[in-house]
């Protein structure tokens, strides 16, 4: 099934078996690709050659820190994908954790790991912004 076909399904079909299988395949595909990137990054980190030049050492350390931050972000995304797959298995995927309302196919296609509808996400971001200020 294509994204276009998915978007043209009637609203009453929201999160039916076909849509759940579509998102499960999408999430699993993203998970495999992400895991491969993580594995490649770990390999690159392990293969870095030490240098005796102080400028090279500083540059290599900066690169290493950047790679570690990237790995941390990718690990968090991997966790979110796993959580989305768990919600799918429980029959909760596609429904806002806060309101119980549909998250919506368009939002899920853009961010398959979404657990909040747009309105709930905006409220969460406003609260976070308020607490930072």
Interatomic CA distance for residues 83 and 73, integer angstroms: 15
Half-sphere CA count of 7, side-chain side, radius 13 A:
8
Express each pLDDT in 19-64 by its tens digit: 999 999 999 999 999 999 999 888 877 776 666 666 667 777 787 8
Express each pLDDT in 54-99 by its tens digit: 666 777 778 788 888 889 999 999 999 999 999 999 999 999 999 9
Interatomic CA distance for residues 47 and 92, integer angstroms: 42
DSSP 8-class letter at 102? B
Locate 129 and state its tokens.
């912004």
DSSP 8-class letter at 95? B
> For domain 3-95, is the CATH number 1.20.120.910?
yes
Its pTM stands at 0.81
């Amino acid at each position: 099934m294509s994204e276009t076909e998915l978007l043209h399904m009637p609203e009453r079909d929201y999160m039916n078996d076909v849509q759940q299988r579509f998102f499960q395949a999408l999430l699993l595909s993203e998970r495999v690709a992400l895991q491969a990137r993580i594995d490649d990054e770990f390999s690159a980190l392990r293969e870095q050659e030490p240098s005796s030049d102080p400028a090279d050492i500083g540059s290599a350390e900066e690169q290493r820190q950047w790679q570690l931050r990237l790995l941390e972000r990718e690990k968090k995304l991997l966790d979110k994908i796993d959580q989305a797959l768990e919600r799918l298995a429980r029959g909760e995927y596609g429904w806002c954790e806060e309101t119980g309302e549909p998250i919506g196919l368009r939002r899920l296609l853009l961010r398959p790991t979404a657990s909040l509808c747009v309105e709930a996400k905006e409220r969460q971001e406003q609260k976070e912004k308020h607490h930072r200020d």
